């Protein structure tokens, strides 16, 4: 864990803070985003990794395992707006332990480009609704362990952000059965991206029905993974 951390008391959480101002899970001993630049990491791994903004269209649906601070949501929303896509971006975040508004505000303060998008997120966190309705965004966070909540989810995503801490530190968020649920909740040809290049994760996503590719990682990480749901039948994830 980083230096300069200080525990704070977001409900149900034990958070530390690195000297760069990045929140760290004391349970998983892993930061919520890269200490080398959270927004650049989001852009490289999750946005570029899902070919965004090129694939955006009205109603495009992003789903995320590990909503955390909402950094990925705000970055995707800003990109959708900047790209001038008509209609709304849809975004569903799955989160076991939603953060409080004060911790979210502290974590996202170093990203002034996202400041215009922050107040609705803070209001959703403060009010406990975890829903944001804006002219160009329809977002919600589904609380609970994603292994319980995703199988019951009725939606399908065009793109997945797989961001549940490093698999070695939190294997729960990367189980093969969960990766099969990710595939089952992906439109044909839909995509995923993650910073992880762990063999077990790649095999689970491949078995679930994704064509998995390696790509250059962010900030000193050799590789990350990205992929698209195969359009052929026969995959465990039910791709058609
Ligand atoms: C790396 S952080 C996510 C960072 C986040 N995407 C952001 O933009 O700030 C990982 C998140 O996954 C959540 N998480 C871990 N295991 C989970 C599980 N089994 N179900 C749901 N959420 C989980 C953690 O609570 C944490 O918020």
DSSP-assigned states of every residue in the chain: --TT---B--TT--EEE-TTS-EEETTTTEESS-TT-HHHHIIIIIIGGGTTTTT--TT-EEEEE--TTSHHHHHHHHHHHHTT-SS-EEEEEEESSPPPHHHHHHHHTT-GGGGGGHHHHHHHHHHS--EEEETTEEEEEEES-HHHHGGG----EEEEEE-SS-TTT-GGGG-HHHHHHHHHTEEEEEEEEES---HHHHHHHHHHTEEEEEEE-STT-SEEEEEEE-SSS--TT---
127 pLDDT higher than 60: yes
Ligand 1: does its nearest atom lie under 6 Å from the Cβ of 173?
yes
- Which atom of ligand 1 approaches the CA of 75 most closely? 8
- Give the pLDDT band of residue 12 (cuts 50, 70, 90): low
Question: What's the pLDDT score for residue 235?
Answer: 47
- Which percentage of the chain shows pLDDT scores above 90? 89
Q: Is the CB of 95 under 6 A from ligand 1?
A: yes
pLDDT in tens, 171-227: 999 999 999 999 999 999 999 999 999 999 999 999 999 999 999 999 988 999 999
pLDDT digits (tens, 9 = 90+) for 147-163: 999 999 999 999 999 99
Cα 222 to middle of ligand 1, angstroms:
22
Give the span between the Cα atoms of 211 and 67, in whole angstroms.
24
CA–centroid distance, residue 234 to ligand 1 (Å)? 31
7 pLDDT exceeds 70?
no
167 Cβ closer than 6 Å to some ligand 1 atom: no
Worst-scoring range by mean pLDDT, 9-13, 14-18, 192-196, 229-233?
9-13
Average pLDDT over residues 44-73: 98
68 ligand 1 Cβ < 6 A: yes
Which of the four CATH numbers 3.40.1160.10, 1.10.3720.10, 3.20.20.70, 3.40.50.150 does domain 33-229 have? 3.40.50.150
Q: Decide: 66 in ligand 1 pocket, CB within 6 A.
A: yes
- Each residue's pLDDT tens digit, 29-48: 999 999 999 999 999 999 99
The reply to whether the predicted model has a pTM over 0.85 is yes
pLDDT over 60 at 10, yes or no: no
What is the per-residue pLDDT for 220?
Answer: 84
Atom number, ligand 1, closest to the C-alpha of residue 66: 12
Residue ranges of the domains in the chain? 33-229
- The predicted structure's pLDDT at residue 99: 97
Contact 32 CB / ligand 1 (< 6 Å): yes
Q: What is the mean pLDDT of the chain?
A: 92
Cis ω for the linkage preceding 53 (within 30 of 0): yes
């Amino acid at each position: 864990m980083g230096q300069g951390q200080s525990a704070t008391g977001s409900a149900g959480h034990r958070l530390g803070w690195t000297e760069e101002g990045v929140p760290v899970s004391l349970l998983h001993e892993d930061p919520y985003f890269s200490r080398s630049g959270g927004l650049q990491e989001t852009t490289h791994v999750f946005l570029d990794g899902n070919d965004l903004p090129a694939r955006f269209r009205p109603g495009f649906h992003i789903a995320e395992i590990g909503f955390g601070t909402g950094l990925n949501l705000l970055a995707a929303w800003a990109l959708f707006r900047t790209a001038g896509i008509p209609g709304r971006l849809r975004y569903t975040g799955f989160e076991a332990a939603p953060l409080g508004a004060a911790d979210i505000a502290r974590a996202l303060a170093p990203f002034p480009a996202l400041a215009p998008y922050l107040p609705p997120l803070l209001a959703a966190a403060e009010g406990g609704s975890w829903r944001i309705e804006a002219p160009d965004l329809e977002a919600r966070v589904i609380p609970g362990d994603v292994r319980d909540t995703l199988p019951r989810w009725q939606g399908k995503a065009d793109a997945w952000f797989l961001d549940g801490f490093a698999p070695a530190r939190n294997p729960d968020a990367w189980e093969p059965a969960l990766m099969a649920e990710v595939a089952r909740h992906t439109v044909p040809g839909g995509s995923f991206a993650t910073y992880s290049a762990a063999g077990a994760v790649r095999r689970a996503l491949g078995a679930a029905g994704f064509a998995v590719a390696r790509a250059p990682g962010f900030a000193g990480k050799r590789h990350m993974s990205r992929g698209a749901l195969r359009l052929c039948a026969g995959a465990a994830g039910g791709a058609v």
